[in-house]
Amino acid sequence: MFPRCPVGGGPVGAVVSGVRRPVRAFGLLLALATATAACGDSPAEVASVQGAAASVDLGAFDGTVRIGAALSETGKFAVEGKDSRQGYDTWARWVNEDYGGIRIAGGRYAAEIVYYDDESDADTAANLVQRLIDTDEVDFLLGPYSSGLTTGTSAIAEANDVIMVEGNGTSDTMFERGFQNLFLVATVAGDYTRSAIEALAARGAVTAVIAHEDTTFPTAVAVGARRHLEAAGIEVLAIETYPKDIQDVSAIMTKFRNLDPDVFLGGGHYNDAVLFVNAADELGFEPDAMLITVGPSNPRLVDQLDDDVDGVLGPTQWEATMAYEGDWFGSAADYAAYYQRLWGEPPVYQAASATAAALALHLAIESAGSTDTDAVRRALRSLQADTFYGPIAFDERGVNVAKPMGTIQVQDGRILVVAPDAAAVAGLVYPRG
């Protein structure tokens, strides 16, 4: 690791030399910590044959398919970035150890993923993707986490004619640019809340309020939500926006409490879900339904907020309880069990989306019989596969239009799919208790 890590390795000697003895130990400790942090987690980390480096014999393969990904290990998207990376690594480990490598024209090729930490920053992510293409010479790209980061990195990929398959950048506007090399296995942001809104309308909800972070993805979700609310005959009483890294949403929830809506819809990221649920509790704001974009489907939020999050709804790209099955990984439950064995925790949908993105690329490469960009692009466009993640079939924009979005509800500490009806394992509790 250290030869690849000039930032962490270089200054250590300079920091330690010339300091007096009492300081030396502490200085050395701090310098080592810096070096460790920089080498372990910074952009300079390269992970070859992810998740399988210790046990896979590269000599057993006929070659390597090199794939690059910029992911957030630090910064605002660190949690989702970690889940996405574990999702990619799950595929890499499975394809190398269990599946026997990617099958191309009679040969078997190891999958290698080169990672960099984009620090949750769009400019950094774009630079790193350029570096993956120019310096690391990757054959294909997997997407970063979030629409904001995918927007810029996909433009770099398009300009260099490199295919990027992704599962965690879902803003609709990305797919209105006419790009030929961007493919999304997940449902687009504009349709995130559709099944939940239709289910709530069917149960009598007539008014709603929306609060969303004013960044790319939450805005796309909110615009879509408004469209679906109006289509379902639910009146939108107010829309509030807020900046990222917000620390207090009391004012927004106070406004909404006075409007007494049936449905509260909050669109942001994980920490926003914590703020919304806590502020609603503190202010006695009790809408009949709370639908929050990111958070409720994550078991960590349920652990941390206990009863306060009970009854909260959230969209989900995927849950282990869904009745999806495929020839790769088996059923959704089989995938979840495999993931649990690898990482010691159940997969959240961001992880499953990442695995599905890598799997779609894998299937297209096999179908094309080569790693030629044009051939793989054609294979992706004609791909039709049933997988643990649901059906995958891309339209002309590169969006997977075969898979509907699900809705979960936290019920007695359990995360249960309640919509659409075809995927539901429990009834929607409305109004929430």
Partner 1 sequence: MSYFAQALINGIALGGMYTILVLGFSVIWGVMGVINLAHGEFVMVGAYLAWMASDFWDVDPFVSAPAVFGVMVLFGYLVQRVLVNRVINRSALVSLLVMFGVSIILQSIMKIAFSADFRLANTDLDGAWRLTDRLTIPVTRFWVLVVAVGVTAALSLFLGRSRLGKSIRAAAQNREAARIVGVDISKVYAVTFALCIGLTGVAGALVSPLLAVQPFQGPPLTLKAFAITAVAGLGSVRGALGGAMVLGLVEAMLALYVDRIGTNLAVVASFVLLVAALVLRPQGIFKGLRHVDATST
Q: Which residues bind partner 1 (CB under 8 A)?
A: 22-23, 26-27, 30, 33-34, 36-38, 40-41, 73-76, 78-79, 81-82, 214, 238-243, 245-252, 254-255, 257-258, 270-271, 274-275, 278, 281-284, 300, 304-306
Instruction: Compute the least distance from the CB of residue 78 to partner 1, in Å.
Output: 3
Angle at Cα 32 formed by Cα 27 and Cα 38, nearest 5°?
125
Task: Provide DSSP, 349-375.
Answer: HHHHHHHHHHHHHHHHHHHHTS--HHH
- Residue located via tokens 């090399």: 181
Which CB sits closer to partner 1, 232 or 237? 237
Q: Nearest approach, Cβ of 285 to partner 1 (angstroms)?
A: 9
Nearer to partner 1, 34 or 207 (CB): 34
Q: How far is the CB of 404 from partner 1 (least distance, A)?
A: 29
B/e letters for 119-157, b = 16+ CB within 10 Å, e = fewer, are bbbbebbbbbbbbbbeeeebbbbbbbbbbbbbbbbbbbb
Q: How far is the CB of 28 from partner 1 (least distance, A)?
A: 11
Task: Please answer whether residues 166 and 183 qualify as being in contact, where contact means their C-beta atoms are separated by less than 8 angstroms.
Answer: yes
- Smaller CB distance to partner 1: residue 279 or 320? 279
What's the CA gap between 279 and 431, in Å, rounded? 19
Q: Smallest distance, Å, CB 25 to partner 1?
A: 9
Q: What is the tally of helices (H) and strands (E) in the chain?
A: 14, 15
Q: In three state form, how does the secondary structure of 166-198 look?
A: ECCCCCHHHHHCCCCCEEECCCCHHHCCHHHHH
Q: Which is nearer to partner 1, 82 or 397 (CB)?
A: 82
**Residue nearer to partner 1 on the CB measure, 207 or 331:** 207
Give the shortest CB-214-to-partner 1 separation in angstroms. 7
Alpha-carbon gap, residue 309 to 415, rounded angstroms:
11
Using the minimum distance from each CB to partner 1, give the nearer residue, 46 or 274.
Answer: 274
